[in-house]
Amino acid sequence: MWRVAAQVRILVLASVWALALILAAAGAVMARVTLDPHDLVGHGGPVKAIAISPDGNEAITGSFDYSMLLWRLGKRPQVEKRFFEHDAAVNAVAFTPDGKRAVTGSDDETVGVLGLASGRLLARFRGHHLKVVSVAVSPDGRLAASASFDGTARLWHLDSLTAGPVLSGHHGPVNAVAFTSGGAEVLTAGYDGTLRLWRASDGAPERIIYKHGWGINVISPLSGGAEVLFGAVDGTVGLVDLKSGDVTGVIARRQRPVLALVLNRDGTLAAAGGGDGLVEVYDTATWRPLRSLDNPYGPVWALAFTVANNALYMGGLDDQPHYWQFLPGRAFEAPKGKYPRRFQVSEASSPGELQFLRKCSICHTLTRNGGNRAGPTLYGIFGRRAGSVNGYVYSPALAKSGIVWSAKTITRLFTEGPEHYIPGTKMPLQKMKSAGERAALLSYLKKATAASGQDP
């Protein structure tokens, strides 16, 4: 029981909100860095997922701001398209082998299929009943797979855009899913510490390959199909032989959970990132670390190698994936990002501003042209009809609510919680129990939303 409880605590610490509160308590001095021109600047919230297209010319990213961005890569990457097809944070993205579509997974419990040329949602698969945290596409592009906290993985037919088999057997959340190199089988790993193998044709379970003892968060099969790389809650980065189930190598034993794992296209390099912000790059011929970047400002949830194999994109608490060139490396690597983030502060000019920064700023701006976060700008919110900001995609529940925002309606929102006040809304579940905190927030919003200023 102590081990299960410990795993639960560690998993919770990996979430945005828990980390934000913990880091806020530290009261650290704001640290800022200059953005690299290769950084993917465009999201309005922490970045959860990154994938590079098969030809290496494009990338797709998923964020806490509910959006996916398609990028044209280069010396100064440009946003080609914005997709707002999910009603919650986007946790996973993957290209199809032809580069024409992308598969996405979200906190809203659905799997999306995007047409990248048309900019259209081609399908939205429903069936999971908790968040989707990992997606994969088969080498022939005919199947997608998804892993969910509901304890299942699922297969989806990309040719007919229909649901396929459900893979049931894990005890607890399924954290990762991948196809074997030949595509005939599916690998899953989960909170129960098991690595399992399934038949892709009909979803039939084949066997439990390996039991780690701690939850396995991420997996990446090696080219050739003989081994799989895994990263676990206890900080282990290891190799497992798919036939024997033996651990053939322990690459690292880190201090915090491993949250991201990626191999480059030809399998010669691997990279791991974790809850401690540490990113390490390994030569898979020897499994010795080539370079490391110690980034103390938060977790690394997503990693992707560039096509040149000399740099990585890294996603975490910042609103943009950072670019890190590790070959040739620099003698001193400055930390990427800034700390504390706007939602991690421990002090502000007023109690109301502190409440806004901690509870609202991760989703909302205050300026007239409020940018791309999970929610619309709050500029001019008092007296505004709910669901009326141009350019923001609202849930039908909010758009049809008829609510006009006022001190009374905003108070009800935070007293009852969005899910009760506006059933069906895509707002994060949140209440403010303290009447004093609600009053302070309202007082601050009345001033801050009446005139444009700088967003935090």
The pLDDT of residue 7 is 44
**DSSP assignment of 254-307, as one string?**
-SS-EEEEEE-TTSSEEEEEETT-EEEEEETTTTEEEEEEE-TTS-EEEEEE-T
In this predicted structure, what is the pLDDT of residue 370? Answer: 64
Q: What is the DSSP letter of 169?
A: -
Read off the pLDDT of each residue in 232-237 and give the average, rounded to a whole number.
98
> 309, 325, 341 — which closes off a domain?
325
pLDDT score for 21: 35
Distance in angstroms (rounded) separating the CA atoms of residues 40 and 372:
14
Same domain flag for 356 and 439? yes
109: which strand partners? none
Are 240 and 372 in a shared domain?
A: no
Return the pLDDT at 254. 94
Residue 391 and residue 364 in contact, taking contact as beta carbons nearer than 8 Å: no
The C-alpha atoms of residue 67 and residue 238 are separated, in whole angstroms, by: 33
Res 58 pLDDT > 60: yes
**pLDDT attached to residue 26:** 35
In a domain, 310, yes or no: yes
Mean pLDDT of 247-265: 96
Verify that 372 and 315 share a domain, yes or no.
Answer: no
pTM for this predicted structure? 0.82
* Mean pLDDT lowest among 203-212, 284-293, 371-380, 410-419: 371-380
Q: What percent of the chain has a predicted confidence (pLDDT) above 90?
A: 66
pLDDT tens digit string along 182-199?
A: 999 999 999 999 999 999
**Tokens encoding 302:** 């997503």
Q: Which residues does residue 60 pair with via DSSP β-bridges, in sequence order?
A: 51, 70
The rounded mean pLDDT for the chain is 88
Peptide bond into 328 cis (omega under 30): yes
Same domain for 163 and 237, yes or no, is yes
Q: What is the pLDDT of residue 398?
A: 87
Mean pLDDT of 209-238: 96
Q: What is the pLDDT of residue 30?
A: 40
Q: pLDDT for 109-145, tens place per residue?
A: 999 999 999 999 999 999 999 999 999 999 999 999 9
| Residues of the domain holding 442 | 351-448
- Check whether 367 has a pLDDT greater than 90: no
- If you average pLDDT over residues 377-396, what whole number do you get? 88
In this structure, the answer to whether residues 119 and 241 fall within a common structural domain is yes
Predicted local distance difference test score (pLDDT) of residue 224: 85
> Which residue is associated with the tokens 């701006």?
365
**Across 26-40, 76-90, 283-297, least confident range:** 26-40
pLDDT bucket at 352, cuts 50 / 70 / 90 = confident
Given a cut of 80, whether residue 347 has pLDDT beyond it is: no
The domain tally of the chain equals: 2
* 69 assigned to some structural domain: yes
340 within domain boundaries? no
Same-domain check for residues 369 and 305: no
Q: Is residue 237 part of a domain?
A: yes
- The tens digit of pLDDT for each residue in 41-54 reads 999 889 999 999 99
Please report whether residue 344 resides in a domain. Answer: no
- Distance set, CA 106 to CA 88, 118, 146, 171, 436 (Å): 6, 21, 10, 21, 34
**CA distances, 66 to each of 26, 47, 82, 156, 392 (Å):** 28, 10, 11, 22, 11
Flag whether pLDDT at 4 surpasses 70. Answer: no
**Residue 116 shares a structural domain with residue 212:** yes
Assign 330 a pLDDT band (cuts: 50, 70, 90).
confident
Distance CA 126, CA 92 (A): 16
Q: Say yes or no: 72 and 184 in one domain.
A: yes
Which among 325, 340, 367 is the end of a domain? Answer: 325
Same domain? 226 vs 171: yes
* Whether residues 218 and 280 fall in one domain: yes
Is 330 inside a domain boundary?
no
Closest CA to 98 of 85, 117, 80, 112: 117
Residue pair 19/299 in contact by the 8 Å Cβ criterion: yes
309 confidence band (pLDDT: 50, 70, 90): very high
Please list the helix, strand and coil fractions of the chain in percent, rounded to the nearest 5, in that order. 15, 35, 50
Which SS3 state, helix, strand or coil, does residue 381 take? coil
N-terminal to C-terminal alpha carbon distance within the chain: 42
Does pLDDT of 15 surpass 70?
no
Q: Would residue 427 count as lying in a domain? A: yes
Query: What CATH number should be reported for the domain holding residue 114?
Result: 2.130.10.10
Residues 383-398 have a mean pLDDT of 87
Please state the rounded mean pLDDT for residues 310-321.
Answer: 94
Contact 256, 300 (CB under 8 A): no
Side-chain half-sphere CA neighbours of 277 within 13 A: 17
C-alpha–C-alpha distance, residues 439 and 442, integer Å = 5
Q: How many residues does the chain have?
A: 456
Torsion angles phi and psi, residue 367, rounded to 5: -90, 165
Cα 59 from Cα 448, distance rounded (Å): 36
Specify the pairing of strand 185-190 against strand 278-283: unpaired
pLDDT at 451 over 60: no
- On whether both 238 and 371 belong to a single domain, the answer is no
In a domain, 346, yes or no: no
